[in-house]
Structure 1
């Protein structure tokens, strides 16, 4: 345990950290707040390797980081959070790691079912986006239980992309459009951006405001490509996901809020000038 982690174990320090975080979040709530934030939770394996841990322990640490960030998101007032939990491409990883990831997903979803404090406190509806046909039956059972348990929550949304790729999302949307037409023939002139969006996994969600990727890697890795094409701030953070602390995310939110406040003020000034 490092000196910083050791200091944080003191009750007085824990109280101070919690107090400081609450003050900071109160400040964030006073400005514009994003309505939809997405995360590429990258760096769990490297986190495990650097600490000579098993890979599954790195992924477990990543889920703990997710819980902290989710709580902050919903406390600030973010309505929709989307996380990249498992890519379709991840099935190419060693079978032992794939099995470990599936077991972690099943365990964490069951924890939500039996200890649903976070979901109940913030009114979170859990949705799992991706190809259900690729998910093992025991994990699928846990998914169905967690989504059923939270389906009546309407305050906030947690999208878990599992297993998912953005290209598959777009292809699935196009297949739905074709299958819903009476003769399975679609007039090309009737296909527009709005139609495609209405058949994507995120169709009921607000536009994506911020996309964050940790680990220092600067690419989207086939995640939310359609959703991040316009008016979305992309942030690449040079730390591993298990090390992604709320204060780091808070600085991203503060920067976004300041930029939006400037944009809103500019719009107001332009409107005032037109009235003169």
Structure 2
């Protein structure tokens, strides 16, 4: 009986893999997004909906994230950003914040295992945000992950933690100001010059995602139609998609539909023509 179940499972997995490969080949006729961002909304509601213990929704949500990473990699996406923990989330109950930090550390260690998706696909992990707000052990785990995957270049996973766009923008402005101030103090020129004005280029150079292309698609689950202070600076031309499913319920079909919506934008086809 157990052998029959295992055989059926392998058959279904292989069938789904073939179907996925065919689907991606069809979708690849159109332009493929370079960068997909996710707001993983609905983990707590999923746990409540299914009467699960505290934190179970987040654990299932991390399994879902691994599936999304695999699908994006197979589709040809180069960058994936996820909104893992905002600065505002530190205002939640202390026990919930502590659980999330412990879970993050646990999953970071799992990602670094030899057989994990990170090593299988050559994923470079980058943590984006005000990491000084993290507890020491969590910050150290994030540092180990970034150091261990720094040479991987097939695929980039940007984990936004202790992050909000307003915090990112304010930090970029402050760094730009400090740069200009140092330049002024080292200059003999006493007047005001355009070289000492803070420009958009200065600010963008100091943004957390300065080396990452702007997201082509931003998917927020649970049907909410707001960005919640995520990638506000970078999402001017981003295609937004808000399926009503909770994050643990998102599937291959939702990702495919988001890509199809992205492909409906004429400018994206023009970009692909230029690349051919």
Bin the TM-score by the shorter chain: 0.7 to 0.9
**Retained in 2: the 8 A contact 1:44–1:55?**
no
Report 1:1-276 matches (<5 A): 10-115=9-114, 117-183=116-182, 190-229=197-236, 231-260=237-266, 263-264=269-270
Distance change (3 Å), C-alpha of 1:107 and 1:180: same
- In structure 2, distance between residues paired with 1:127 and 1:159: 5
**Pairwise CA RMSD of aligned residues?**
2.4
SS at match of 2:55: helix
Deviates more, 1:163-172 or 1:137-146: 137-146
| Count, aligned residues | 260
- In structure 2, distance between residues paired with 1:80 and 1:228: 14
Q: Give 1:261 deviation, angstroms.
A: 7.3
- In structure 2, distance between residues paired with 1:220 and 1:205: 19
Could you report, residue by residue, the CA deviation over 1:129-182 in whole angstroms, capped at 9, with x for unpaired residues? 011111111111111111001001122211100110000000010111122234
Which structure 1 residue ranges, 5 or more long, are not aligned? 1-5, 269-276
TM-score w.r.t. structure 1 length? 0.87
**Retained in 1: the 8 A contact 2:263–2:269?**
no
- In structure 2, distance between residues paired with 1:74 and 1:152: 17
TM-score w.r.t. structure 2 length? 0.87
Which structure 2 residue ranges, 5 or more long, are not aligned? 185-191
Distance change (3 Å), C-alpha of 1:190 and 1:156: farther
**Retained in 1: the 8 A contact 2:31–2:268?**
no
